[in-house]
Structure 1
């Protein structure tokens, strides 16, 4: 079986043209706000649109528009890489990030919604570039391909292959029989929640530009801020609003859909959603007690900072309201553990996802029962329904590979010359698409000081984590490229 390279390249051209539209949007804001970066955005948009249009026109007359599963995996991975490469242009041309390595790191950190940054003075960056930085996260939050499937009818052919290759979680729940309608409804919810957060932040007295950027990056669970001190810059009201929308962004969007339809019983019956609430509640309670008795913070601030950081890490948003590494080794250890949990499948969050942990633990405990009753057939149940054994195998394989990649990543970063604490923190946060880590890449630091090769390696881990390992790893297997 051959790859349909002609249609693959055609779709990449469409993605570039779509990306240029968002650059033009940032251009309008830059001109309106009197920014000096408008020309960089204009040139970037023209180059990106021109390149996309050229390859689209060259390949638009393809007679074979069939997309197979292998084509879908290749489109998704190459699409994110191509978008990230062209996404560096506004940074480089404006001089905000003159280094290509740093610009690519910042861009792929945006598209993968990781939120790791190399910028030492965010507030000195022009407004148009900051908006582009936030938009990369908002686009990447729901997914570039999912957006394209939603609005470009030409991708109706092969849409499921693209959706499955990119959509987070074990398997995307379809709200409607047609994949295009599903993608559209997901984006309606995503856009609606973004606008709702924007309104609430404005009601709290937040400036419009800051409110817009934080609404974009909250719903993407990305965490890019317009302030050097991140969310610590803002009032308690603003922080509570961000907490609520980080929580919603980390919830399965299918459940959000049913919740908006008034079917709250179906939402609460979802086992992953209940565990999501329990995990946040338990970690928050433990950390509140520790922070309250070991710092000078009052009860309300201890609660707010603890809840904020727990939700930010669990949902892999990565905003910072306080330096959690100053809360002691015990809390730091809990934060590190949370980096491997993740939020709900079918959300914009990264990480392992809670549903995988549920399946893993249930299967582990059932294995003890199987030892006592070797002839019994005891399936793993989720939401009171037996799940296919292939899903269990998939979960076990995913977690094994995830931990193997993490361990290998720590070795690689240590070999590069990074200290051990920074190595484990940078790898965990990049693979989990979280943002702040431990050591010298903690909540009050950034990634600018890391060696160039380390930034490229972490960029690769960000992409692997965002596309849930398998999509990227398949491209490195010989049988993926084998013709048959």
Structure 2
């Protein structure tokens, strides 16, 4: 049987950290006299107190390292348990959400989905906005850590392909995890500071700049404004698009650049394809808008750039009347959202890497049909892709498309219209966060969805963030055997 003590010990320590972090929005609300500080203090005491009890009860036994199976369990526990405590301030204070809505909001924050059930944002206390931004930022950092350390070990969805001589944690108790985590933290914090500084320089209000910076680098999408980035047209949209693009590229490449490999970023085939595909989608949709609506060129390009980048990176910020651009624009947007950003970043979706491998496998298969005697191995970045990686990618892509259909149908069975159900499944399974459809038209949020639908979308957010297969593996009996 699996020893759960290390998992419980680490989870307890994380709860302590989460509880202490709740004091930051508490201090902000106290300083601004919003009357909401007490809710954060209560939530902090509950979260940190329970965390201390769990950490102390596991004691020295919990300091042992993790193997692949306990890494699975810890990853799953983090994204299921922590949102439950992160939801406490939403229930005990503003906006006074129900258990369903509060957990939905917290899961959306930590999975960096950006879907929300909170309306009238501009009237909410500053501490609540800061907490939503912090949930995004903490989730993005955690996702980067999991994506670059745990998923290659777990051999999920082809991620084992990214193991290198200097970045291989398999077979030991994550020997370089601390070094890798510190490097990722440095990159993540540096990008956040640069983003915050830029937002302040272009004229954002301090609170908006902080929350938008936290959410942009996490590709999270929570905003203090009901109009999202529509409140900062022009320079705000260009700056937001830039930092969302930077945040959706593999963080390990930034570490390599800091260590002297200046061409690491653009030299990566995944990054090049990501940028080319984004700009191609922006160009096509801009031309479509010019042809069908006759909008001004610069405004059309700017809005299209911002919204397409937001969708493909899975951020979820919005600007302008996006849903009214026409069916073709929505189709392109849907496809870009399914593809998602780069593997090894905080973006979700299929990921550019998996789509590239799938396309390479398709080309190879077509070549074999044309020339049966031809030997044409599937290659990525000049390396032959082994059969295990190909099988993992094929399974992931197939499972993703299947789940997208299952969740869409399931949402319609709860009373959601077909368009809202399809885009609701798309937004949550892909951690995209965009609200499209008749059922979200009134508020631009998911607040009008039935509670059953919200729990289904919560499950979709967790599955999308946990790379699908990692979510189901613990239900296999052999997983629990020695």
Give the TM-score, by structure 1 length: 0.92
Q: Distance in 1 between matches of 2:45 and 2:63?
A: 30
Number of residue pairs matched by the alignment = 472
By how many angstroms is 1:221 displaced?
0.3
Q: Deviations over 1:3-25 (max 9, x none)?
A: 11222211110110111122112
SS of equivalent to 2:265:
helix
Residues 341 and 351, structure 2, Cα contact 8 Å, conserved in 1: yes
When residues 141 and 32 of structure 1 are mapped into structure 2, their CA distance, relative to the original with a 3 A threshold, is same
Which residue of 429, 432, 457 corresponds with 2:430? Answer: 432
Residues 7 and 74, structure 2, Cα contact 8 Å, conserved in 1: yes
1:67 aligns with 2:56: no
By how many angstroms is 1:57 displaced?
0.6
Q: Distance in 2 between matches of 1:427 and 1:374?
A: 40
By how many angstroms is 1:161 displaced?
4.9
1:348 aligns with 2:346: yes
When residues 333 and 36 of structure 1 are mapped into structure 2, their CA distance, relative to the original with a 3 A threshold, is same
SS of equivalent to 1:276:
helix
Q: Where do residues 41-60 of structure 1 align in structure 2 (5 Å cutoff)?
A: 41-60=40-59
Residues 168 and 348, structure 1, Cα contact 8 Å, conserved in 2: no
When residues 82 and 228 of structure 1 are mapped into structure 2, their CA distance, relative to the original with a 3 A threshold, is same
When residues 162 and 300 of structure 1 are mapped into structure 2, their CA distance, relative to the original with a 3 A threshold, is closer
Q: Distance in 2 between matches of 1:424 and 1:400?
A: 17
Q: Distance in 1 between matches of 2:397 and 2:151?
A: 23
1:194 aligns with 2:192: yes
Q: Where do 5+ consecutive residues of structure 1 fail to align?
A: 150-158
Q: Deviations over 1:114-136 (max 9, x none)?
A: 00000111112211111111111
Give the TM-score, by structure 2 length: 0.92
By how many angstroms is 1:269 displaced?
2.4
Q: Where do residues 10-409 of structure 1 align in structure 2 (5 Å cutoff)?
A: 10-62=9-61, 65-143=64-142, 146=145, 161=150, 164=153, 170-171=159-160, 178-261=176-259, 263-295=261-293, 297-374=295-372, 376-409=374-407
Q: Deviations over 1:68-88 (max 9, x none)?
A: 211111111112111011111
When residues 165 and 196 of structure 1 are mapped into structure 2, their CA distance, relative to the original with a 3 A threshold, is farther
Q: Distance in 2 between matches of 1:53 and 1:275?
A: 46
By how many angstroms is 1:477 displaced?
2.5
Q: Distance in 1 between matches of 2:421 and 2:16?
A: 37
Q: Distance in 1 between matches of 2:38 and 2:154?
A: 36
When residues 166 and 53 of structure 1 are mapped into structure 2, their CA distance, relative to the original with a 3 A threshold, is farther
Q: Where do 5+ consecutive residues of structure 2 fail to align?
A: 169-175
Residues 72 and 162, structure 1, Cα contact 8 Å, conserved in 2: no
Residues 40 and 90, structure 1, Cα contact 8 Å, conserved in 2: yes
- Stretch moving more, 202-211 or 170-179: 170-179
Residues 152 and 159, structure 2, Cα contact 8 Å, conserved in 1: no
Q: Distance in 2 between matches of 1:365 and 1:162?
A: 27
Q: Distance in 1 between matches of 2:224 and 2:439?
A: 18
SS of equivalent to 1:21:
helix
By how many angstroms is 1:297 displaced?
2.8
Q: Distance in 2 between matches of 1:337 and 1:57?
A: 48
By how many angstroms is 1:167 displaced?
10
RMSD, matched Cα: 2.3
Residues 9 and 63, structure 2, Cα contact 8 Å, conserved in 1: no
By how many angstroms is 1:375 displaced?
5.4
- Stretch moving more, 208-217 or 122-131: 122-131
